[in-house]
Copies of this chain bind each other. A is one copy, B any other.
């Protein structure tokens, strides 16, 4: 996506977008917690539906909120060293990974205890695809960018793919959450959903908040004038060397 010249919009709006994303992200986590805690009977770890309730909370917290914040760090910490920001990016993604694994174990446990077949729904297909691709992307990210294993050529080849798949996986995570919301509502309140009951409206609002979080994060990371400024000294030392095409600015994830 091409951006406006800095003079027309510029960096002064960035903090507002970042603050907005955090309000939307925290609201999504809180509403998921309230939905499962208040309307669906709370949390447990015993194979019951209370164990299932851990699943939505972990996925929204891990694969949406923390994942989105991991994506944002390159825009938020514009003037820190690239290496520190990379480590923070990897750590946030590791937290997202661990929390989403807990969320996955919760739903598989619940299905096994309740003798419900695994992996039959579109939600499960999309969600598992998102998780597996996220895990692969995280491993590749470590290997290519954090450790000095890959050649500069390989890194510069992978970087635009890492950026594209990074944003794609956030979109797929949000989409999988929306499918999960729809499934959960139709399994539990199919009879009353069409009467605009509190639970149904709350869950729909949660869906819109998740979409809004994804939109704001996507806008911040694709807008040209929010991009991290290239630091010539760092660029010379690190992998982010200039590409061969004339006048091109080195890529920053």
Number of copies: 2
CB atoms of A2 and B186 under 8 A apart: no
A228-253 interface code vs B (CB 8 A; 1 in, 0 out): 00000000000000011101110110
User: Is A178 located at the chain interface by the 8 A CB criterion?
Assistant: yes
Q: In whole angstroms, what is the CA distance A123 to B187 when docked?
A: 15
User: In the complex, are the beta carbons of A248 and B186 less than 8 A apart?
Assistant: no
Bound: A162/B160 CA distance, A: 22
Task: Give the chain B neighbours of A167 by CB distance below 8 A.
Answer: 1
The reply to whether B122 and A181 contact each other, CB–CB distance below 8 Å, is: yes
Stretch of A14-22, A47-55, A138-146, A168-176 that contacts chain B: A168-176
Q: Give me the interface of A with B, judged by CB distance under 8 Å.
A: 1-8, 116-117, 120-123, 125-126, 129, 156-157, 159-160, 163-164, 167-168, 171-172, 174-175, 178-179, 181-183, 185-187, 190, 193-196, 200, 203-204, 207-208, 211, 215, 218-219, 222-225, 243-245, 247-249, 251-252
